[in-house]
Amino acid sequence: MSAFPYALQEDDLPRLGLIVLQVDETIEGDFRRLFPPHVARLHVTRVPSGAELTPHSIAEMKRALPDAARLLPAIRPLDVVGYACTSGTVLIGADQVRDMVTGAVRTRAVTDPLTATLAQCHRLGVARLGIVSPYIGSVAEPIRAAFEAGGIAVPDTLSFGEQVEARVARIAPRSIADAARNLAQRSKLDAVFLSCTNLRTLDILAPLSEELGLPVLSSNQCLAAHMAALAKSHS
């Protein structure tokens, strides 16, 4: 039997890799909306993660991160790989995340929600940031410290005190918006950050920002914007 002849065809769309927590039910859908097929080639891999988000479960996830990165397509280098966990980045360390990813997959750049949000804050001139998160205290406090270490004051935070990821993904957007309103009313802020890739925030960002009169950022929005900017810079 003879083989039917065929042609090879490449495209010049950005090639993006996304490392998503096994338990995350939100960010992949958000990214499919933010990066539709005509905009970028989005490749997703999953990293094992515990049903509860604690410093211990994040440490366990760290060991599996390189293997998850290796499952991304490696025919040619990716333009950007994003590690999609805000709290994981804080507790592992952004530099270590970058080193583990670049040691496992060929990519021109690596980013994460913390790095991406800090970049967005500095671009917007945000000096005082309020943080809304779902986390328990042992996860929420290091995030506050990480932003302050990055040069952004965090005068106030608000947390839902939830550590079960399945419940985080089901926190109603109206509850998240109410928390952001509460934070903006009680503290003088330049912006509000909705922290966690598993929170359903994408549809409330623009109307909430208009209502509050200040930028309302989210982990997924900032990560996507930073990945798009890095991909463009390497094109």
* pLDDT (tens digit per residue) in 92-142: 999 999 999 999 999 999 999 999 999 999 999 999 999 999 988 888 899
Say what the pLDDT of residue 235 is. 63
- Bridge-based pairing state of the strands 128-133 and 153-159: parallel
Report the predicted TM-score, pTM, of the whole model to 2 decimal places: 0.95
Side chain identity at residue 198, one-letter code: N
Q: What are phi and psi for residue 5, nearest 5 degrees?
A: -70, 150
So what's the pLDDT on residue 149? Answer: 97
CB atoms within 10 A of CB 228: 18
Q: Which domains does the chain have, with CATH numbers?
A: 15-112+222-233 (3.40.50.12500), 114-219 (3.40.50.1860)
Residues with Cβ < 8 Å from 61, sequence gap 6 or more? 21, 47, 48, 49, 50, 85, 88
CB atoms within 10 A of CB 189: 24
**Residue 199's pLDDT is what?**
97
Q: With the CA atoms of 102, 106, 108 and 111 taken in that order, what torsion angle do they form, in degrees rounded to the nearest 10?
A: -40
Residues of the chain with pLDDT under 70: 234-235
